[in-house]
Amino acid sequence: MTRVLVLFAHPCEESFSSALKAVVVETLTKRGWEVDLCDLYAEGFDPVLTAEERRNYQSIPANCGPVQGYVDRLRAAEALVMVFPVWNFGFPAILKGYFDRVFIPGVSFVLDQGMVAPALTHIRKMAAVTTYGATKWRAWLAGNPPARVIKRALWFCARPDKMRYLALHDMNRVTEAGRLRYLAQVQREMEHF
């Protein structure tokens, strides 16, 4: 059985992001994946990188200590699916904090004589399922930081065989029919993930 880590970052159970998370988890489970749901808000993940963590950032394995459980879950995954909204053209703070605290040297990348090499090569598939308040055009004008981070920086850490970035734009005006179409698209993607 293949293990997938589903990272979820939204504080409200009634949110559309929560509905997306449910579709992702349900579909992957039905397809036979072993799903590890990491609901950052529900788990009370602390996104704040402490001074001590920063001082030990490159001290492997000491840098893992404060977040060892999250590191273990990431290392056990063979696939990674992130479900989150884009707020102010960026990640929710809790997800950004996860990247700051868990995607650290020796976990997501290795520094060797000044060269950076990926360390999450066991992750063969990666996907992001997200929503934007902005239109696609406004997100593009702003440089679309979340897409760039996932498609470039996180891709570099894992070098997955399959990478998907699914986004529903203009949430401020999308209709119920539009939301249902996006849910169906996410379900189809997860059926073939």
So where are the chain's domains?
3-191
CA angle, residues 118, 123, 127, in degrees to nearest 5: 110
What was the pLDDT predicted at 90? 95
**pLDDT for the residue numbered 155:** 86
Cα separation, 75 vs 107, in Å, equals 8
CATH 3.30.499.10, domain 3-191, yes or no: no
pTM of the model: 0.95
Comparing C-alpha atoms, which of 121, 112, 106, 105 is closest to residue 157?
Answer: 121
Q: What is the pLDDT of residue 111?
A: 83
Strands 115-118, 109-112: pairing is: antiparallel
Q: Which parts of the chain have pLDDT scores under 70?
A: 1
Cα distances from 24 to residues 53, 123, 154, 193, in angstroms, run 32, 17, 20, 10
